[in-house]
Structure 1
């Protein structure tokens, strides 16, 4: 997790505005990782920002941070991304990377086509190309190797534990960014 934290810290350093996209499907166990992380961020920031609610898919914490619960259709949020025009985007998702379950790491752009992001309507590579064609932004993808993708199961214990740890790391880095 330390290397992911260092990457996030350097990625958002000197940013003007960041967007964090949680991608995944709660109905397929660990595929809900990204959605869970963004919901954790919304819960944290709703304590100090009254306009935040888990009822909404898009939450602007302030003019520098937007949180998006994209579910399985991140392509449906491209208009919001274009309108908000963040200079940095962090996408969080479960990813079949042929690693040990619970492995959290940055998915490099040249690995996207070889990495399984199973529940999306469109491949992430196409969504990223579309976003980059319309706004000047950098995109960081954080993936976790799932233990279970069975339909109807909740997040596994390991992935929930990792999601909670990762959410704390993100909150720490976001708080530093927002100061």
Structure 2
């Protein structure tokens, strides 16, 4: 079973999901988490017009079962929203320096995140996860994608990461659809 199948299995019984996209769009592939969440919002915007979803808004609720958060480089700013929403599952999408081929997507064990280089957060991701675990009874999953280019001042994703991000967006939409259809 690959990592995405494992994630799918864990989300099978999800009652409320929060998806957090993290990254800096001004550092090339570091912005992939933000790119993916914005694309998911764009997908559901037409399907659920009553929700008034907006890709420029940081927090979008598709329904009372799915919340999408564009955290940018400050995921810690959204912990109060997570405490208020109380999702039973949280999926964090970010670029991660894992020493893999660019575009490789892995489910990263939250216990191992100290050994993985993450993007340009104000606070390290392991500190944020510890904080969330202290206040929430949520299962937390980290999906990392190996970047190709993290140069400062480069807007947009590299071609390979762009394609892989679109592929992962479709996978994420399928997972969210399964939750919404229950």
Give TM-score scaled by structure 1 length: 0.96
RMSD (Å) for aligned C-alpha atoms: 1.0
Q: Which residue of 2 aligns with 1:103?
A: 104
Partner secondary structure for residue 71 of structure 2: strand
Partner secondary structure for residue 7 of structure 1: helix
Partner secondary structure for residue 2 of structure 2: helix
Partner residue of 1:155 out of 154, 157, 165: 157
Q: Which residue of 2 aligns with 1:173?
A: 175
Q: Which residue of 2 aligns with 1:39?
A: 38
Q: 4+ residue runs of structure 1 moved beyond 4 angstroms?
A: none
1:8 positional shift? 2.2
| Structure 1 CA distance for aligned equivalents of residues 44 and 137 of structure 2 | 27
Aligned residues: 178
User: Equivalences for 1:42-53 in 2 at 5 Å?
Assistant: 42-50=41-49, 51-53=52-54
Q: Which residue of 1 aligns with 2:143?
A: 142
List alignment gaps of at least 5 residues for structure 1. Answer: none
Q: Which residue of 2 aligns with 1:66?
A: 67
1:163 positional shift? 0.2
1:5 positional shift? 2.8
Q: Which residue of 2 aligns with 1:28?
A: 27
1:4 positional shift? 3.3
Q: Which residue of 1 aligns with 2:128?
A: 127
Task: Give deviations 1:110-158, integer Å, cap 9, x for gaps.
Answer: 2200111130010111101111111100000000010000012121000
| Structure 2 CA distance for aligned equivalents of residues 118 and 170 of structure 1 | 21
| Structure 2 CA distance for aligned equivalents of residues 177 and 79 of structure 1 | 23
Q: Which residue of 2 aligns with 1:4?
A: 3
| Structure 1 CA distance for aligned equivalents of residues 61 and 7 of structure 2 | 20
Partner secondary structure for residue 118 of structure 2: coil
Give TM-score scaled by structure 2 length: 0.95
- Check if 1:75 corresponds to 2:76: yes
Q: Which residue of 1 aligns with 2:87?
A: 86
